[in-house]
Homo-oligomer: A and B are copies of this chain.
Amino acid sequence: MTVRSIAQDAELALLLEVTGTPKPGNVDRNHDHDDLRFEHFMAGAVGARPGLERAADGERVGRVFERAVAGMVQQSAGNTQFGALLLLSPLVAAAHDDALTPAGTDEVVRATTVADAADFYRSFEHVDVAVGDPPAGLEPLDVRRGSAAIPAIEERELTLYDVMERSADVDGVAAEWVGGFERVFGAAERIIDGDGPVPDRAATVFLELLAEEPDTFVVKQSDRETAETVQRRAQAVLDGNEEAADLADTLVEEGINPGTTADLVAGALFVTLRRGVEL
């Protein structure tokens, strides 16, 4: 028997994430959206792996991320795992440093440079990602400008950590970057401590995370009120007052997908696999 590499575990985490069901509002083993289906996530995970593998040679986090995104889009549905890869890229680097801990990952993201930030902006050339408008005065840094924004980044000497800091209050993935990956590692502990098949445990933890904080992707895609409604209904499912399957069906119907919460679970599953949990 051989042992999975760090990049293989990252890829498998992406596959397990989309398998866990029910994950209300997201594509999972039992739910597709019209134009975003289960197989797109599989192709996204398979495609992203060579990019993630570059971390083994000490490639910088931004470049690993940008290459992973370039591989992810080898399917027709566009963005499948952008946020998950933005979490996995520093987690994979920390694992290579033999420091897959909140402190170890914090060290990785604080060490990012302006070059990493430029890679991040380049990654928006590969795929459309739902983002909000930048605050007034920060239009030159709008990620939707892609590579065109790089001179503005360089002029301001912004690292990728700096970029994440600026959107940490509106983006759950960025919040992890600047908050020691607290929710990711916390979720991993809960998956590790759970019982039963790993995808089922992940689905439970997804629901718990969703009930704890409004999903920032839902805020961007719809609005805060919608995100808070989803949060309350997730709690109702945990309290036994609503069926998870019903909530899942409703959200899929309404096109609401709590993608950021899914991203957190993907990161947590990677940590889980690196901790040696067997499937």
The interface of chain A, by Cβ under 8 A from chain B, is 1-5, 8, 11-12, 15-16, 19, 29-30, 37-40, 42-43, 46-47, 49-50, 67, 70-71, 73-76, 126, 197-199, 278-279
B19 & A42 in contact (Cβ 8 Å cutoff): yes
B8 & A278 in contact (Cβ 8 Å cutoff): no
Q: Which residues of B contact A43 (CB under 8 A)?
A: 12, 279
**What is the minimal beta-carbon distance from A146 to any residue of chain B, in angstroms?**
15
Residue among A19, A39, A49 with most chain B CB within 10 A: A39
Bound-state CA distance A5–B126 (Å) is 19
Q: Which residues of B contact A16 (CB under 8 A)?
A: 39, 42
Q: Of B2, B39, B71, which one neighbours A70 at CB under 8 angstroms?
A: B2
Number of copies: 2
A73 & B42 in contact (Cβ 8 Å cutoff): no
A47 & B8 in contact (Cβ 8 Å cutoff): yes
B76 & A8 in contact (Cβ 8 Å cutoff): no
Bound-state CA distance A70–B4 (Å) is 11
A50 & B197 in contact (Cβ 8 Å cutoff): no
Q: Which residues of B contact A37 (CB under 8 A)?
A: 197
Q: Of B39, B74, B197, B198, which one neighbours A2 at CB under 8 angstroms?
A: B74
**What is the minimal beta-carbon distance from A252 to any residue of chain B, in angstroms?**
15
**What is the minimal beta-carbon distance from A11 to any residue of chain B, in angstroms?**
6
Q: Of B50, B71, B198, which one neighbours A39 at CB under 8 angstroms?
A: B198
B75 & A15 in contact (Cβ 8 Å cutoff): no
A-B contact pairs, 28 of them (CB 8 A): A1-B70, A2-B47, A2-B50, A2-B67, A2-B71, A4-B47, A4-B74, A8-B46, A8-B47, A8-B50, A12-B42, A12-B46, A15-B15, A16-B39, A19-B38, A19-B39, A19-B42, A29-B29, A38-B199, A39-B197, A39-B198, A39-B199, A42-B279, A43-B279, A75-B278, A75-B279, A76-B278, A76-B279
B4 & A46 in contact (Cβ 8 Å cutoff): yes
Knowing that A1-B74, A12-B46, A76-B278 touch, tell me 20 more A-B residue pairs with CB under 8 angstroms. A2-B71, A2-B74, A3-B74, A4-B47, A4-B74, A5-B50, A12-B42, A12-B43, A15-B42, A15-B46, A19-B38, A19-B42, A29-B29, A29-B30, A29-B38, A30-B30, A37-B197, A39-B199, A75-B278, A75-B279
Q: Which residues of B contact A71 (CB under 8 A)?
A: 2
Bound-state CA distance A126–B2 (Å) is 10
Bound-state CA distance A42–B76 (Å) is 21
Q: Which residues of B contact A40 (CB under 8 A)?
A: 279
**What is the minimal beta-carbon distance from A270 to any residue of chain B, in angstroms?**
13
